[in-house]
Amino acid sequence: MIEKTMQIQLPTGLEARPVALLVQVASRHECSIYIEAEGKKVNAKSIMGMMSLGMDSGEEVKVIADGADEQQAIADIENYLSNGSI
């Protein structure tokens, strides 16, 4: 299991479209991926769960990945949250 704190650097934060893209990035991986913020922990592969976070640009989240491809999952999510590239 890997945990890493990341800052959301997307200009619009985690609104509908950025959340949908983040869920796509997370869903490419076999491992379990969770995002933890403001006392909530949600499945990063769940669009409804991710929408419930409502995070803005500049806020920090903890990403938790557990499974075979956890390192790649963390790297891909960090890359997306940093510059929006999937």
Which CATH number does the domain housing residue 55 bear?
Answer: 3.30.1340.10
Q: Supply 26's token pair.
A: 């997370």
**pTM of the shown model:** 0.93
Domain carrying residue 76: 2-83
What is the C-alpha separation between 66 and 80, in angstroms, rounded?
19
Which pLDDT band, with edges at 50, 70 and 90, does 25 fall under?
very high
**Residue 58 parent element (H or E):** none
- Read off the pLDDT of each residue in 45-53 and give the average, rounded to a whole number: 95
Across the chain, mean pLDDT equals: 95
Residues ≥6 apart with Cβ < 8 Å to 56: 8, 13, 14
Per the structure, the count of domains in the chain is 1
